[in-house]
């Protein structure tokens, strides 16, 4: 965790999203069954030569109703704030433009390392033009072609050279969590209310390099937590709250640093499309998840209100069927005292290890009650399973033919594991492998 952040900046049309996709493309997500998660990403995790990092395409963040010069400026500032390394993309086709020079000037003001990429160098003849780009005032320009994938490896080599070596050590003893959600669902109110109910630990550990603010506190039972807050939105003010991509970016960086994520919904407004997107990101990241329905005080309730809301959540967030739900009010403090215990419980489940013998007993029982699928006279055979990771719990199941493991059977196995072991609040990954 606390992976380095790389941000891509540059004027429009130089190929930022092409380069982003090229770098991100290698990665195959283990879980991709979260509906509602947009594929037009501006934030992704990536890896090069064993270095994991997060990648942001600032070109995808449009601050609505702003002229293009302002947009570029804002994007560059976000990059400067968020990133450990900035990739400044230009295009060899148009030469250096005024807009490129503007971006360069903005980047001079930052002390973050800048790697200059000259894109659209699709052939050998164009290579000689890249030396012109020294004029922008950065180190050696790197010629690449996002479309053809040329030079991207060299670019990545250069990027990882600038990764900080003194990445803050994450605190292993405290449970890290964050609250994410649409604007106005009551995140800040909940943060304050939760802190008000618990003992805040004053510490002299310097703030983190980025924009995140951690608050450490201890619950009544003594368990210590680290609440991760991303101050960006508050700092930037109201205009940004409506920039959906920007709020997604904030959520992503919070998710990235958390063990457990509280997905906050607003009871007053019900479930919106953006709630699903935000929750989808937390699910994909494999974090522990608790669904917190805030502003419960605002509803006129009867005996069915809670059940009805719960059903709506289950219908809209089918992939989060493992996440517990709690109905709270930051205003009246209703049920807020349950939250620390829930976080602790989910965190334990995320780190739960099952011995291979227990695991295989459960699998044998599962197969006995519901035989494995067969086709063309051949039956799927499950030989053995073993847990290979925690956070989230990850199991490898060895079989005769992975293609015969249908989604529905895998789902059945997951449910059997959930019935046998306490995994509430945590996703489970099942990896199916052919036994050699």
Ligand X SMILES: Nc1nc2c(ncn2[C@@H]2O[C@H](COP(=O)(O)OP(=O)(O)OP(=O)(O)O)[C@@H](O)[C@H]2O)c(=O)[nH]1
316 is in an annotated binding site: no
Residue 236 or 257 with smaller CB distance to ligand X: 236
Cis upstream peptide for 392 (omega within 30°): yes
CB of residue 338 vs ligand X: minimum separation in angstroms?
Answer: 15
For residue 59, say whether it is annotated as part of any ligand binding site: yes
Interaction pattern, residues 152-191, with ligand X; x per rule: CB under 6 A: -----------------------------x-xxxxxxx--
CB of residue 433 to ligand X, shortest distance in Å: 36
User: Does 10 count as an annotated binding residue?
Assistant: yes
Is 230 annotated to bind ligand? Answer: yes
Of 3, 16, 277, 287, which lies in the binding site for ligand X, with binding defined by CB under 6 A? Answer: 16
User: Is 61 marked as binding a ligand?
Assistant: yes
Residues in contact with ligand X, counted by CB under 6 A, come to a total of 33
Report the distance separating Cα 433 and Cα 89, nearest Å: 40
233 is in an annotated binding site: yes
The residue from 47, 77, 122, 348 that contacts ligand X (CB under 6 A) is: 122
Distances (CA, A) of 101 to 32, 270, 314: 40, 46, 51
Do 87 and 8 meet the contact criterion of CB atoms below 8 Å apart?
Answer: yes
Residue 295 binding ligand X, by CB under 6 A: yes
Alpha carbon distances (Å) from 129 to 94, 100, 138, 144: 11, 16, 16, 12
Q: Does 243 bind ligand X (CB under 6 A)?
A: no
Residue 120 binds ligand X, judged by CB under 6 A: yes
Should residue 12 be labelled a site residue for ligand X when binding is judged by CB under 6 A? yes
Q: Closest by alpha carbon to 413, among 429, 424, 402?
A: 429
> Which is nearer to ligand X, 141 or 393 (by Cβ)?
141
Question: In this complex, which beta carbon is closest to ligand X, that of residue 117 or of residue 159?
Answer: 117
CB of 257 to ligand X, least distance (A): 18
Task: Note whether 387 binds ligand X by CB under 6 A.
Answer: no
Give the Cα-Cα-Cα angle 397, 399, 404 (nearest 5 degrees): 110
| Alpha-carbon gap, residue 19 to 46, rounded angstroms | 13
| CB of 145 vs ligand X, minimal distance in Å | 4
The token pair that represents 317 in the structure block: 């967030």
Q: Is 425 annotated to bind ligand?
A: no
- Return the residues of window 325-364 that contact ligand X according to CB under 6 A: 329-331
DSSP string, 191-258: HHHHHHHSEEEP--PPPPSSSEEEEEEE-TTS-EEEEEEE-HHHHH-HHHHT-HHHHHHHHHHHHHT-
Q: Is 151 left (phi over 0), alpha (psi -120 to 50) or beta?
A: left
Instruction: Give every CB contact of residue 415 below 8 A, 6+ residues apart in sequence.
Output: none
Q: Is position 426 an interface residue for ligand X (rule: CB under 6 A)?
A: no
Under the criterion CB under 6 A, does residue 14 sit at the interface with ligand X? Answer: yes
Distance CA 145, CA 153 (A): 11
Q: Pick the binder of ligand X from 7, 17, 292, 427 (CB under 6 A).
A: 17
Q: Does 198 bind ligand X (CB under 6 A)?
A: no
Residues that bind ligand X (CB under 6 A): 10, 12-18, 59, 119-120, 122, 145-147, 181, 183-189, 233-234, 241, 294-295, 297-298, 329-331
């Amino acid at each position: 965790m606390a992976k380095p952040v790389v941000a891509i900046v540059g004027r429009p049309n130089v190929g930022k999203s092409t380069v982003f996709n090229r770098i991100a493309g290698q990665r195959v997500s283990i879980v991709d069954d979260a509906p509602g998660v947009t594929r037009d990403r501006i934030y992704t995790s990536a890896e090069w030569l064993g270095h994991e990092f997060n990648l942001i395409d600032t070109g995808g963040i449009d601050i609505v109703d702003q002229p293009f010069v302002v947009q570029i400026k804002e994007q560059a500032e976000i990059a400067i704030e968020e990133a450990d390394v900035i990739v400044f993309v230009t295009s060899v086709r148009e030469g250096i433009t005024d807009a490129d020079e503007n971006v360069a000037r903005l980047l001079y003001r930052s002390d973050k390392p800048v790697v200059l990429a000259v894109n659209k160098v699709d052939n050998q003849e164009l290579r000689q033009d890249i030396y012109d780009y020294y004029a922008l005032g950065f180190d050696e320009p790197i010629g690449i072609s996002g479309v053809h994938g040329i030079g991207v490896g060299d670019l990545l080599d250069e990027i990882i050279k600038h990764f900080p070596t003194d990445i803050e050590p994450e605190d292993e003893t405290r449970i890290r969590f964050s609250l994410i959600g649409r604007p106005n669902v009551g995140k800040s109110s909940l943060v304050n209310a939760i802190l008000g109910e618990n003992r805040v630990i004053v510490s002299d550990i310097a703030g983190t390099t980025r924009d995140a603010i951690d608050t450490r506190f201890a619950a009544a039972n003594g368990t210590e937590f680290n609440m991760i807050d991303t101050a960006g939105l508050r700092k930037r003010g109201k205009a940004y709250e409506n920039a959906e991509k920007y709020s997604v970016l904030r959520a992503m960086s919070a998710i990235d640093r958390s063990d457990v994520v509280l997905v906050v919904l607003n009871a007053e407004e019900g479930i919106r499309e953006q709630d699903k997107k935000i929750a989808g990101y937390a699910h994909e990241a494999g974090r522990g998840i608790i669904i917190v329905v805030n502003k419960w005080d605002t509803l006129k309730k009867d005996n069915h209100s809670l059940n009805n809301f719960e059903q709506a959540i289950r219908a809209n967030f089918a992939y989060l069927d493992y996440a517990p739900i709690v109905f709270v009010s930051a205003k009246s403090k209703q049920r807020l005292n349950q939250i620390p215990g829930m976080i602790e419980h989910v965190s334990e489940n995320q780190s739960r290890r099952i011995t291979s013998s227990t695991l295989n007993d459960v699998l044998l029982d599962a197969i006995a009650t519901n035989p494995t699928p067969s086709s063309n006279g051949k039956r799927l055979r499950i030989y053995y399973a073993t847990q290979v990771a925690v956070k989230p719990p990850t199991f490898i199941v060895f079989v005769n033919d992975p293609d015969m493991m249908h989604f529905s059977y895998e789902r059945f196995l997951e449910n059997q594991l959930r019935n046998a072991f306490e995994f509430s609040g945590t996703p489970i990954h099942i990896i199916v492998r052919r036994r050699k």
